[in-house]
Structure 1
């Protein structure tokens, strides 16, 4: 594990920072929030939950077996279990501190649904999971930390069953913009420290295609992320301070937020090559 990841998600406990809420650690998807009005804690929580819903809608997990890579405190797993009713969900995280917190936060749910919710320690590049074990794989705001996107893509393809779906939500540099890494390191401490890794979104889409996944697509959701995130940050930070520079990086077309989707192809002759209904 890279030292900045160890510190940020271990001793520093990023989930305790006031800009995050109820155990979620993401920038939020703000489409349903009125940004012209003062933002409430309820608005913030909804934005974090709605980012998960946006990603889960892309993989349609109803009835299948699901894995979240980079699950953090597992509150997204709990949301998926309650609202999408998969057969089961596994949350994987590289950080043992995060998994301890996940088991504490979700203790009641783990006791009530022992066959439908589990957590496992593992890296995105070496998942502790069986071949073809899952119908859906998703990841929310973790891929910016993954050191090896090729290895992640291979592992994702391995653990998905034929016909399985993948969705990744995270922020990447914008294809075709020069000197992104240097510019981001100058704007944002999370890039200067090495916590976040500056790579174009095509780096992930190419890796997924190279792993044998198909129908690989990336779609910007920046207009529904960055303005709301900046409005929320404005409660604690002034313009020009580094957390507010996420919006500046987006406005400069250096950084954007994407949802990337893909699927594992159906094996020849299986179910006539057609996907089954969710």
Structure 2
């Protein structure tokens, strides 16, 4: 049995860039108004009218909807791990709405994990066996082989330094028959020169917070790790227009986040739900 339990000397998990460590540590991205509600994702806006000004309630609804879009691809009743859990609110959603047996939230920064524990204090006090938060990196997870029936990650894979290592670790910690779901933004097939163009338009790509991963790199890594039924579905039409419309009504200190929508329209990046399965029947 294999398990990886390393941590950095400052308490952080290995693998994350200094920019990722800062944004999800002392800078606390969850406190930024554009991420109202604490879910730290761009949202899934299907069913939310975009022909009117959007409210903070609409924003939270979109963030929760993105989690629901991912969680419904996974088997209910599972023991699950969320890679890059942020404030852990998606884990509570998985427990309360989807009937997961338990959720382990993993994140790279101890400050983020402490925020998650505070945000979920009610359920941690009531049912500590169902929810926990642990330090760890996507490329080196601190769990035994076959620990989980489900693994998911919501808008975190754009930060992963090594998609092949993430895929191998995912395959290792999943049981036979276990399911994986990844949602984030990637370069679509044929987006030649997109990395440079994105860095010119979007500060998060220029400073190394977001990495310009081609979608095909992730799909190939999952297959090479032995996972099967690897599929990708574009959901950009339900992400980028709504997020940009919401930003249009927010007093932003910078303007560059509005360039995500134009990058999508220009074919430089898109938003996907990627699913895969560990081979075997889980018996």
Which band: TM-score by shorter chain? over 0.9
Per the TM alignment, residue 233 of structure 1 is displaced from its structure 2 partner at its CA by 0.8
2:108 corresponds, among 61, 86, 94, to 94
Partner of 2:147: 133
Following the alignment from structure 2 to structure 1, what is the Cα–Cα distance between the partners of residues 21 and 177? 35
Contact map agreement 2:54 2:249 (CA 8 A) in 1: no
- 2:73 aligns to what SS in structure 1? helix
Structure 1 unaligned segments of length 5 or more: list them.
Answer: 272-278
Greater relative contact order: 1 or 2 (C-alpha under 8 angstroms, separation 6 or more)?
2
1:230 corresponds, among 220, 240, 244, to 244
- 2:34 aligns to what SS in structure 1? coil
Following the alignment from structure 1 to structure 2, what is the Cα–Cα distance between the partners of residues 20 and 178? 31
Paired residues, number: 267
Following the alignment from structure 1 to structure 2, what is the Cα–Cα distance between the partners of residues 225 and 153? 25
**CA deviation map 1:220-277 (0-9, x unaligned):** 0000000000001111368x9311000000000011000000000006xx75xxxxxx
After TM superposition, the score normalised by the length of structure 2 is 0.92
1:241 maps onto 2:264 in alignment: no
Partner of 1:254: 268
1:175 maps onto 2:189 in alignment: yes
Following the alignment from structure 1 to structure 2, what is the Cα–Cα distance between the partners of residues 86 and 222? 27
After alignment, is 143-152 or 127-136 more displaced?
A: 127-136
Following the alignment from structure 2 to structure 1, what is the Cα–Cα distance between the partners of residues 208 and 270? 18
Per the TM alignment, residue 95 of structure 1 is displaced from its structure 2 partner at its CA by 1.1
1:205 corresponds, among 219, 226, 229, to 219
1:164 corresponds, among 178, 186, 189, to 178
- Mapping of 1:1-278 within 5 angstroms? 1-60=16-75, 62-236=76-250, 241-266=255-280, 271=283
Following the alignment from structure 1 to structure 2, what is the Cα–Cα distance between the partners of residues 108 and 220? 35
Contact map agreement 1:237 1:244 (CA 8 A) in 2: no
Contact map agreement 2:53 2:246 (CA 8 A) in 1: no
After TM superposition, the score normalised by the length of structure 1 is 0.94
**CA deviation map 1:142-161 (0-9, x unaligned):** 00000000000000000111
- 2:51 aligns to what SS in structure 1? coil
Contact map agreement 1:15 1:23 (CA 8 A) in 2: yes
Stretches of 4+ aligned residues off by more than 2 angstroms: none
- 2:230 aligns to what SS in structure 1? strand
Following the alignment from structure 1 to structure 2, what is the Cα–Cα distance between the partners of residues 227 and 109? 34
Contact map agreement 2:236 2:271 (CA 8 A) in 1: yes
Following the alignment from structure 1 to structure 2, what is the Cα–Cα distance between the partners of residues 2 and 29? 27
